[in-house]
Structure 1
Amino acid sequence: MRGGGGGGDDDDGPWRVLADAAAELASVLLAPSSSPDALADALERATAAVDADDEFVAALGFHRAHRAVVRLTTHPSPDVAAAAGDLAELCARRCPRGVPFPSVGGDASVEPSYARCDVGRRNAPLALILRRAREDPALGGGEKRRVPNIAWPSAIVLARVLALHPALVRGKDVLELGAGLGAVGMAAAALGADAATLTDVDDDAVANMRYNIARGGGVRVRRARSRRREGEAGVVDDDATAAAAAIASRCVAKALDWNDARDVRDVDGTADVVLGADVVHDHGMADGVVSALARAMRSPHGVGVIVNPAPEHRAGADRIPELLTAAGLVFERRVVASALLRAGLEEETEDVKLDVFAIARAEERVPRLEDVGERWFEFD
């Protein structure tokens, strides 16, 4: 698993915790020598785990426990049979998209993958551990991975811009366009936004964002290193608890097609801040993005920030400036290199240049991002 801005495997991540718990229960359910009392207890614990987290269905399947559950519905002990029936019914209802029930252990469609998104800043490191929407295993990874499942460098940079300028979103209503994994909108909520609406045209992406929102974005914090400068704030466990609670309570995910007039009408004038990361990556996309942004921004104080790979990396991105001007918006553009993230990035090369657009309806309202630079994107 690779995570933009963080990189590497997350061995103690959410899936591993569930898989380890499921392994313990599966060992009881699959053992011929397990007593009726032990079986009933394991089934009841598994039912509680599934009720708490749909992914536990997949975790049970990963350890080949589903077939044992179905088999135990005919166990001679009434208590075991009833408990197995309850669990089987719950698993069938709560089964995540893409997970067969009963499942076959080791199936590539069973184990979810996660992206680690380091969205904080140097003296306040904050990471989101976000489950990716499930995919057809035949797609494989790399360039074949669906666009909404990638932790794009643009999103990591935009989230870190917000971490550097939390006043931009604090107490505001925020709308994220083309959210994908939703890291930017979740970061906004963690930084104090009153409400964050995360939108995407992909229904699977929306369902996946709702899953991650309900679990508080899987927030982690890394304690500030001992060599940090004197006077810099440290990071405590309470930070993660507060951030997760903010994400779960202030974020919503919904479908939005910026080329659909009805969808765009639904967000007219609803946002103090409109955000978008890597939203223009093909010819013709910029028109819909800029139109939706201009309509969603509340008048007169609404602002927007777009981070997008430069035109040499994304077809159609060259039209963003002219379309912003045509929409009556003013902006400042700064350039950041994705290499500044200093971490394993997906789908990008180290020399990608990212355009950062700070947007408003009047010059005096344009967010000032002059201090966006290398020192704010490094964690080392």
Structure 2
Amino acid sequence: MAKTRPVRGATLNGESRRFNLPERQADGDWLDDRETVDEGEPVLRTTVTVEHPRTIITRNQSPDIGFDRSINPYRGCEHGCIYCFARPSHAYHDLSPGLDFETRLFAKPDAPTLLRAELGKRGYVCEPIAFGTNTDPYQPIEKDWRITRGCIEVLAETCHPLTITTKSDRVTRDLDLLAPMAARGLAAVMISVTSLNPRVSMTVEPRAPHPEKRLAAVRRLTEAGIPTYVSLSPIIPAITDHEMEHLMERAAEAGARGTFFLPVRLPHEVAPLFRAWLDTHFPDRAGKVMSIIQSIRGGRDNDPNFHTRFRGQGAWAELLRTRFHIAAKRFGLDGERIRLRTDLFRPPAGPQGELF
């Protein structure tokens, strides 16, 4: 395993053949303006490109996802989680799912305005909107761009329910909006904590906040009356799976209402990126990790099929589920998922909203 903190998650900027993406060499400086790391090698600077989409609510009809709409204020994610299933989406921009995904980001500053317009359309039917389903809404650039906050302001104004999934304690900066919404049954948050070992965490998720900060955020959110859950996803066999019960115990101590987990998924370009990362940081167990993953995924690096892609199959998957259910009952984390209210929604004021 690497002895120093990696500055990025992916170890390469590999080729994506699905969209004829040529392999490219990354360049630039690091976000914090340091020009070199300890070894004297150049590091990467994060760049942000403004994107102007025509709509901001994304719809899905997946039979194994518990929401039908979501908002992604950003494309790409600086947290650099090596396992991120959203990495392949960068290939649509002729960019690499590797280092480009972590360093060449897109921001959508028009999102709150677009959201207001879409909520005001005739015939809009209110259902919870999910944030953090593709890339993290509270990644570092949210501090300056505040697009996620702008969207929450619109939802608070219209009494529209929302859910947030993040691995950042930055979500607590919006307590002033989320707490009143939660009091009316309109908001819930899920914090992702995949490892309590700082060295493992900084290798798997190099630019995400320290796990203790995330657990502190769980406590703050809970104390503010916001229903808060902890995601252990993804569980990486032979790297993080042994922490499951301890993670759940800490989640319960922090006041979480429940927990959730998925075995690691490696769709499309994520698989070769993950293999290269294993060879760099865990060469002593790379073969073992991939062998177990393939046993969970029907002999492949990834299972893309509905209904089985999130659960996994085989003895390892069943063992994880058994351990999880036993621990959930032991720590009181097996309660019902919260149901958010939709009956309070009122279309936004304005030329469109006044029609209702």
- Smaller-chain TM-score bracket: 0.3 to 0.5
Structure with more of its chain in helix, by fraction: 1
TM-score by length of 1: 0.32
Structure with larger RCO (C-alpha < 8 A, sep 6+): 2
